[in-house]
Amino acid sequence: MLPLILLFPALLIGGVVVLIMTFFDVSETSPIQLAVVNEDQSEETEMIVEVLEESSEFGPFMQVEVMEREEAEISIAEDEISSYVLLPSDFTQNLYAGYAVTMSVIGNPDQQTESNVVHELINSVMRHIESSQANILLVDEYAQKVNMDEDTRSELIMDEFMRTFLSIAGKDKIMSEDTVKNYSTTSPVHYFVISSFFILLTAWLLVIYHFLYQEEANRMKERMRLYGVTALQQVLARMAVTLFITVIVGAVAFYGIVSFVEFDLYTEDVVRIAFICMLYSVIYLLGLAIIELMIQAPRIRLLIHSLFTLLLIVLSGALIPTIYFPLYIQEFLTYIPSYEALFWLQEILLNERLYADYQSLLVYGGSGMVILILLSIWKERVR
């Protein structure tokens, strides 16, 4: 009976993941469309625009085009570009005067993820410009002290700006500050195989936990109470058995996945992955146990368990990659244990990380255990 119950989630999740892979069309990605509006039209801003247009760091994922402001606004309204960058008319004047210079990014509300990438890019470019501005002001100060004539000083400042900015921007590090990776398109098979394993692990925990559950009659409850068996001990025992069975089945499934996809793993990587899966499993089972102690009705409890499981899977990014989530949701995902667990699994397996951060998962697990103990003590006193 139990093998059939464990096999059904594997078949169901496999079919769902295949449908999701075809829905996201992972074979080809369209580049981000970026427009640049140069209202200054100075030699310095023209050089900045040229750097944005021709930088090899963007590669095939971003296309830059120079537009007028009205044309850029129309393109955003028609969803033709992701955002446009505005260089104001006083850009060069403020640059040489020592005032703060700005490059505004006007994003497309329908392409928030792409607009966020552009925003991070422009922030990196602005840091290069600020470094150039500091050198310009230093050269200008010394030029004034030696009573250099205006034309020579302007030419010297211009040369200094070009030399400093180009030397920094030419290091192919414009995008090195913040890198956004979408593994669902760059490594689709590996990404969805890891996601499938994560979803399957969660489903097995839920199925086995409920398979071991039995609704006890009042006489049986009284008898167990006389023997000194508390509700907390029963829940912990069911959690331990569920975790033991899931570890065995999960280890076999993971071995099959590694053999099929051929991940390049060392012993240390396997230990880190096992520890992350164990922590996540304990946290998830603690959530099921807390809900069980709070809700007595079996059908309502099963419904809440199912909704809780579905919410964790969706927020982890296993079904839909988190890069497609709205930005206000992405900001809070680091507080979700399922997201943290899947994130570090992807980092180890896809990004070949040599370490993993367990602090958040340990905090979630410890907090869940404290809540479960306090809740069980309260329930025993009420009884």
Beta bridge partners of 32: 62
Q: Which pLDDT value is given to residue 288?
A: 93
Which residue stretches of 65-187 are H helix?
69-77, 91-97, 112-145, 150-169, 183-186
Burial (Cβ within 10 Å: 0-12, 13-18, ≥19) of residue 378: exposed
CA 105 to chain centroid: 23
Beta strands of the chain (E only): which ranges?
32-38, 62-66, 83-87, 104-107
Q: Please give the torsion angle defined by the CA atoms of residues 377, 378, 380 and 383, in that order, rounded to the nearest 10 degrees.
A: 180
How many C-beta atoms surround the C-beta of residue 71 within 10 A?
16
Q: Residue 82 is encoded by which pair of tokens?
A: 């992701």
Q: Domain residues of the chain, as ranges?
A: 2-21+182-382, 32-169
Residues of the chain with confidence (pLDDT) below 70 = 1-30, 51-61, 98, 128, 132-133, 150, 153-154, 157-158, 160-188, 214-228, 382-383
Q: Which pLDDT value is given to residue 180?
A: 47
* Residues composing the chain: 383
Q: Which pLDDT value is given to residue 277?
A: 94
Q: CA-CA distance, 33 to 15, in Å (whole number)?
A: 34
Q: Which pLDDT value is given to residue 230?
A: 77
Q: Please give the torsion angle defined by the CA atoms of residues 254, 19, 28 and 192, in that order, rounded to the nearest 10 degrees.
A: -10
Q: Which pLDDT value is given to residue 80?
A: 85
Q: Which pLDDT value is given to residue 176?
A: 41
Q: What CATH number is given for 32-169 in this structure?
A: 3.40.1710
